[in-house]
């Protein structure tokens, strides 16, 4: 309970910050964008992983103001990148199902884009499969409105939740992220190889750009590149890092 109330005051106490993980084009090696990920600098516990607090935030409803903070901070950061190395980078933001369904979400996103000056094409909203619930016309409508604004949508953690192939068919998504739990077992684990191959092939035939996540080894990268994945994200390339370290990392590649 103490944890929940500490979490509640974390925004006001400016204890949240963002880290950014590069997403790289497999073919060209160019950076397409970054995924923004939240971190909590707790006064006693140090840096707390979102694995430890996103669930609590969802249960308490705090995910809505927290998610709003993330979206605004990520867009503000990306809009501040005006140098040639970063001016075209997209920023991917994780949005929880509850946040997507919260009243006024589309208007909020629109306001953030206006206030920060970030063009809609540079914002990618990452949704997990649990955001795609059957007979949820509100959620579907929200996604469509975001699309109409020019925002890109990514399906995160694909294949780990209630994977329903109808979602892949019906959702106006742009990116499909192959979950780390498959990538971890590549290459060599025959069944994970088969599932990954099927996900990539299906995604590509539905015109999704395929993002391989959690890539840690050259062998994984080679396997996923050969399957035709478009983008890659993982510790092999870069860990999530604060904005200043990202700048240094980009400069180092140039």
Residue ranges that bind Na ion, judged by CB under 5 A:
156-157
Residue 180 CB, shortest distance to ligand G, in Å, is 6
Mark the segment that binds Mn ion (CB under 5 A) among 45-53, 114-122, 156-164, 216-224: 156-164
**Which residue sits closest to Na ion, CB atoms considered?**
157
129 binds Mn ion (CB under 5 A): no
- Assess 179 for contact with Mn ion (CB under 5 A): no
At its nearest, how many Å lie between Na ion and the CB of residue 159?
A: 10
| Cβ-proximal residues to 141 (8 Å cutoff; 6+ apart), any chain | none
Does 129 sit near ligand G (CB under 6 A)? Answer: no
| Residue 165 is a binding residue for ligand G (CB under 6 A) | no
Which of 6, 156, 179, 230 touches Mn ion by CB under 5 A? 156
Q: State yes or no: residue 215 binds ligand G (CB under 6 A).
A: yes
Question: What are the backbone angles phi and psi of residue 149, rounded to the nearest 5°?
Answer: -75, -15
Two tokens, residue 123: 């914002």
Task: Name which position in 6, 22, 126, 227 contacts Mn ion (CB under 5 A).
Answer: 126
Question: Min. distance of Cβ 52 from ligand G in angstroms?
Answer: 9
Residue number, 53 or 81, with CB nearest to ligand G: 53
Check binding of 185 to ligand G (CB under 6 A): no
Q: Which is nearer to ligand G, 31 or 70 (CB)?
A: 70
One-letter-per-residue 3-state SS of the chain: CHHHHHHHHCCCCCCEEEEEEEEEECCCCCEEEEEEEEEEEECCCEEECHHHHHHHHHHHCCHHHHHHHHHHHHHHHHHCCCCCCCCCCEEEEECCHHHHHCCCHHHHHHHHHHHHCCCHHHEEEEEEHHHCCCCCHHHHHHHHHHHHCCCEEEEEEECCCCCCHHHHHHCCCCEEEECHHHHCCCCCCHHHHHHHHHHHHHHHHCCCEEEEECCCCHHHHHHHHHHCCCEEECCCCCCCECHHHHHHHHHHHC
Query: Rounded to the nearest whole angstrom, what is the least distance from the CB of residue 156 to Na ion in the complex?
Result: 4
User: Is residue 156 a contact point for ligand G (CB under 6 A)?
Assistant: yes
Residues of the shown chain interacting with Mn ion in the complex, contacts defined by CB under 5 A:
94, 126, 156
Residues of the shown chain interacting with ligand G in the complex, contacts defined by CB under 6 A:
21, 37-38, 49-51, 54, 67, 70, 94, 96, 156-157, 180, 213-216, 233-235, 240
């Amino acid at each position: 309970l103490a944890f929940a109330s500490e979490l509640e005051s974390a925004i006001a106490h400016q204890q949240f910050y963002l880290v950014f993980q590069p997403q790289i084009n497999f073919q060209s090696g160019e950076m397409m964008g970054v995924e923004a990920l939240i971190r909590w600098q707790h006064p006693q516990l140090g840096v707390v992983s979102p694995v430890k607090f996103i669930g609590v935030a969802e249960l308490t409803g705090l995910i809505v103001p927290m998610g709003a903070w993330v979206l605004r901070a990520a867009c503000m950061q990306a809009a501040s990148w005006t140098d040639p190395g970063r001016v075209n980078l997209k920023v991917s933001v994780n949005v929880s199902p509850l946040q997507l369904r919260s009243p006024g979400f589309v208007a909020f996103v629109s306001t953030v884009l206006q206030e920060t000056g970030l063009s809609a094409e540079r914002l990618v909203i990452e949704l997990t499969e649990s955001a795609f619930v059957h007979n949820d016309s509100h959620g579907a409508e929200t996604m469509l409105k975001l699309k109409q604004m020019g925002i890109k949508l990514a399906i995160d953690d694909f294949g780990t939740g209630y994977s329903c192939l109808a979602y892949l068919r019906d959702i106006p998504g742009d990116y499909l992220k192959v979950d780390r739990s498959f990538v971890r077992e590549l290459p060599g684990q025959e069944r994970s190889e088969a599932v990954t191959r099927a996900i990539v092939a299906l995604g590509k035939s539905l015109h999704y750009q395929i993002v391989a996540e959690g890539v840690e080894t050259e062998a994984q990268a080679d396997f996923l590149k050969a399957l035709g994945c478009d983008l890659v994200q993982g510790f092999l390339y870069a860990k999530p890092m604060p904005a200043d370290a990202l700048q240094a990392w980009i400069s180092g590649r140039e």
